[in-house]
Structure formats: C-alpha cells, structure tokens
Structure 1
Amino acid sequence: MPLESPLPPLAERVAALNARFAHHSAHDILRAALNDPFVGRLAMVSSFGAESVALLHILSTIDRTVPVIFLDTEMLFHETLTYQQQVAQHLRLRDIRIIRPARGDIFRQDSDGLLHQSNPDACCTLRKTVPMANAIEQFDGWITGRKRFHGGARQSLPLFEVEGPRIKVNPLAHWARTDVSDYITNNRLPRHPLVAKGFGSVGCAPCTTRVTSVENPRAGRWRGQEKTECGIHFPNGQAVQT
C-alpha cells in the first residue's frame, strides 16, 4: 500500500529504526524490516558461507519468497557451490538469484584468472563489488549477515545503516559467535563442509585459509595482507572499473 505522505529522509528513517529495535531479536528485526514501508523492497545477500545458514533459516521462517542474491565469483570453493544448492533446497527458498561477473569484464581484466595475485582489490572489484552493485539496483535495501564480533570495521556495526540511496539491514549485528553456533546446532541446520576442516569464514578459494581456534573467524581471509574486506560492504581501496 503506498504511503499517503512523502517518506522522511533516509538518515532519519534509519536512526528511528535503530532506536526502535535496539533490544529486539534478530527474528523481530528481520520481520519488521520486511514489512515496513519505510524500509522498502529488500533482498538478502548471502555468501552461503560458514555462518550464513543461520540468517537464511530465520528468513525461511518469515518469508521464503524474499529474493536471495548469491554471488558466484567463479573463484569459490566447490564445496560452497554444492552447499548453496543444499541449503536452498533444505530451507525451501523460492527465489535464489545467482549472479556472476560479466564475461566481457573478466576477459578484459582477468583472462588468466591471476589478478588476485597481483591486485586483490582489483579482483574483488571485478568479481564482487561491480556485480553486486548491479544486482541490488532494483531494491530499496538489502539484508546482510554481518556481525560485530567479526572485528575490524564491523565492530560498531548498527542494525540498520544508510548506504547511498539504500537501507542496509544487519539483523545479526549484535549476535556473539556462540549465538551463531548454538542457533545452527539447535535448529539442526546443515553446516558448510569446510567449517569442519578449520575454515572460520569462507570466501574465494585462492584468498581463504584455515584459522586456529583462538583466531577471529575472518583471520583466514587475505591472510598476510592489510586487506580485510572485499569492498561490497566497506571500500577496498580499488576504484570501480567500468
């Protein structure tokens, strides 16, 4: 149903949402966001990685028809591709949208598939940032599974935030590492097969390593480099190429 009066500025809407849901559960936050005309039409973005199944399960209990965008960078582990199909079927998600980098862009910028070795920021821009930016253009906002315990730039992550002309919803921002593990266990959800092999966070195969039990889950991403983000959520230092 259309609103009878113009929407307030995006920053005001986000501030009001953060104040309203500061002490609510992830389920309540997600349900409200999906049904709030002040938020608009949302899609969930999921890597189908080590922790993704928790938020995907919450979504499945609310609305299985919400679009779920899965970015296949064409550098992912085979296990991730298989797991994506398994989880989507298990949760009966009805609108999985698999996106990939444009063929022409790959041919021009990374025809040998080795760009990640010489310029990982440029590789992420090519294979992640640009395809994702194109995929979310049709939506008013998007839902992510990011959490504060991941550290780095995520430590102060709000439940709702402004990104350009859109609202980004982070229902699990306040969850602890044990909350994720307990939720997956208690709901008997399938785990990413690489978790049992020591991967705390699963990204592209060339840039992801195992972590120890005392490391941050994302310590295995771009190990040995200053880089900690791919650029989808935070700038990676590489300008978007067109």
Structure 2
Amino acid sequence: MLTISTLTDQDIQHLNDQVLMDKSAKDVLTWSYETFGDELVYSCSLGAEGMVLLDLIEQVHPGANVIFLDTGLHFKETYALLNDVRERFSTLNIKALLPENTVEEQKEKYGDRLWARNPDQCCAMRKFEPLQKELSKYTAWISGLRRAQSPTRAHTPFIGKDHRFSLLKICPLIHWTQDEVWDYIYKNNLPYNPLHEENYPSIGCAPCTAKVLDGGDERAGRWSGMEKTECGLHWPAESEREDEV
C-alpha cells in the first residue's frame, strides 16, 4: 500500500509526471481506487466540481466512501442538494460530518457570529477538526480542486503529500475549466446548487459566502472583505505560501 510515509518526493513527482500526467479525471480515479480501494475517501463540498466527481466515482467504484462537512451554517439550498445527491448517487456511502458543538453551543462558548470576528477559529472547529478526525481512518483522500479556481490553487498536482492530515491527496480535476465542469453537468443532467445561477460560483457557509461580481475569480465571494482565501483544508504548498506566514 502506498502511503504518505512510504512515498518519497521523487515517487510523487514520478506519479504526477509519468503515471498520471496524460490521464483523464476518470482514469485518475480508476488508478486511485485500484491503488487504495476503501482506504480512499472523497470529501465533497457539494459544489459543481463535486457533482462531476460523484458521477465519475460512482462509475468507477460503486459503494465508495464520501463525506460532507455539515457545519450547521450552510444555505438551505445546499441542504436540499444534499438530499438530491443522496437520491441520485444512491450506491455511494455518503456521510455528513458534524462538528463537536452545534451553532448555538458555539455561540454560548465563544460569542455570537464567531465567523465574522475570527473566521479561522470558526473554520477550525466546524470544518478542520471533524475532517481531521475522519481522515485519520484513511490513507488518501480525493478533492475537487482545480488550478483555474484561484491563484492559491494554480499549481495543484494530481497527487501530493498532505502533511496537515498526514495522508495523500488526489485531485483528478486539476486541468478542468469552469466551462468543462458545467458542460459535464448539463450533458449528464446532474443535480447542482441553484445558487450557482445567482453568481455564486463557489459556495460555502452562508455567513461567509457572497456573490461574485463580473471579473472576479471563482472564489472571490468566499470570506469577501477578509484577509482569508481558504478554510484551512486546502493550503497550497509551503513554497507558495511565503507571503502568508
């Protein structure tokens, strides 16, 4: 079994530059499940990329494990989509992860609207901690990151070492454009969040997601007005984060 501890940086480079370089997203997923089997999990945010990956994963590995971070702060449209997704992709094992505290309990302990006063702390408790606990059960995880989404994701590889979670991270859609994602959704009649049609290209928790004006990058609406672009689950490589330290 390949693991973060058994693969050297040279091994990772070989996988990206030789084994996976010319592969399609479906081919990358096929290789991933053949390699890791049930030691692989997909963390799905129910974004547009998520619909594509759910459809491809069900084709490649019915019964695959999928997790969704239920922060308790999502839009009502996102929760409705979760129900639609469970019905459409019924062969997949979709599990909602809950944080230790409810939104009301968080308010009592840390004050109201923590996401506005300290968004990093809020993300850590409602996203990072439950995901870290769940990922400890696996060897590798799948993410829907695309290079075109934002500058911090511009060099995302197919497979890399995720030291935050101590496992391997696989991103099959790195070369896809936003248009390609939506073409696939329409062609295959997949469900999606209707907020995408209201200038929400990237959808997270309701208090921290705004509409994106024309010309903004796909994640410009996330934590708008704050010096924050990621929730902490998908930090870029250290070499790309020197200005964030």
TM range (shorter): 0.7 to 0.9
Larger helix fraction of residues: 2
Q: Structure 2: any 5+ residue segments left out of the alignment? A: none
Q: Which runs of 4+ in 1 moved over 3 A?
A: 10-13, 104-113
Quick one: structure 1 residues 193 and 212, their matched pair in 2 at CA, closer, same or farther if it must change by over 3 Å?
same
Letter in structure 2 aligned against 1:58: L
Equivalent pair of 1:10/1:162 in contact (CA under 8 Å): no
1:23-60 per-position Cα deviation (integer Å, ceiling 9, x unaligned) = 110000011011115x8710000011243201111111
Quick one: structure 1 residues 150 and 110, their matched pair in 2 at CA, closer, same or farther if it must change by over 3 Å?
farther
Equivalent pair of 1:40/1:140 in contact (CA under 8 Å): no
Q: Structure 2 matches for 1:50-61, cutoff 5 A? A: 50-61=48-59
Secondary structure of the structure 2 residue equivalent to 1:220: coil
Distance between the aligned counterparts of 2:196 and 2:103, measured in 1? 32
1:45-77 per-position Cα deviation (integer Å, ceiling 9, x unaligned) = 001124320111111111121110100011111
Q: 1:226 aligns to what?
A: 227
Corresponding position: 1:140 with 2:116:
no
Identical-pair percentage? 33
Letter in structure 1 aligned against 2:35: D
Q: Structure 2 matches for 1:29-44, cutoff 5 A? A: 29-37=28-36, 41-44=39-42
When normalised by structure 1's length, the TM-score is 0.87
Distance between the aligned counterparts of 1:93 and 1:212, measured in 2? 38
Quick one: structure 1 residues 110 and 167, their matched pair in 2 at CA, closer, same or farther if it must change by over 3 Å?
farther
Distance between the aligned counterparts of 2:38 and 2:155, measured in 1? 24
1:173-202 per-position Cα deviation (integer Å, ceiling 9, x unaligned) = 111111111111111112211111221110
Letter in structure 2 aligned against 1:232: L
Distance between the aligned counterparts of 1:118 and 1:55, measured in 2? 34
Could you tell me which of 60, 65, 81 is aligned with 1:62?
60
Q: 1:130 aligns to what?
A: 129
Q: 2:45 aligns to what?
A: 47
1:82-125 per-position Cα deviation (integer Å, ceiling 9, x unaligned) = 10110121122431111011038973676455111111111111
Could you tell me which of 84, 87, 90 is aligned with 1:89?
87
Quick one: structure 1 residues 188 and 104, their matched pair in 2 at CA, closer, same or farther if it must change by over 3 Å?
closer
Quick one: structure 1 residues 76 and 15, their matched pair in 2 at CA, closer, same or farther if it must change by over 3 Å?
same
Secondary structure of the structure 2 residue equivalent to 1:149: helix
Q: 1:202 aligns to what?
A: 203
Distance between the aligned counterparts of 1:88 and 1:146, measured in 2? 22
Q: 2:183 aligns to what?
A: 182
Distance between the aligned counterparts of 1:216 and 1:110, measured in 2? 36
Q: Structure 1: any 5+ residue segments left out of the alignment? A: 238-242
RMSD of aligned Cα (Å): 2.4
Distance between the aligned counterparts of 1:174 and 1:106, measured in 2? 40
Letter in structure 2 aligned against 1:98: A
Quick one: structure 1 residues 200 and 69, their matched pair in 2 at CA, closer, same or farther if it must change by over 3 Å?
same
Distance between the aligned counterparts of 1:54 and 1:105, measured in 2? 30
Distance between the aligned counterparts of 1:106 and 1:137, measured in 2? 27
Secondary structure of the structure 2 residue equivalent to 1:127: helix
Distance between the aligned counterparts of 2:174 and 2:80, measured in 1? 27
- Stretch moving more, 102-111 or 72-81: 102-111
Could you tell me which of 69, 72, 87 is aligned with 1:71?
69
Equivalent pair of 1:76/1:203 in contact (CA under 8 Å): yes
Letter in structure 1 aligned against 2:154: Q
Shift of 1:11: 3.2
Equivalent pair of 2:150/2:218 in contact (CA under 8 Å): no
Quick one: structure 1 residues 53 and 104, their matched pair in 2 at CA, closer, same or farther if it must change by over 3 Å?
closer
Q: Structure 2 matches for 1:105-116, cutoff 5 A? A: 107=105, 111=109, 112-116=111-115
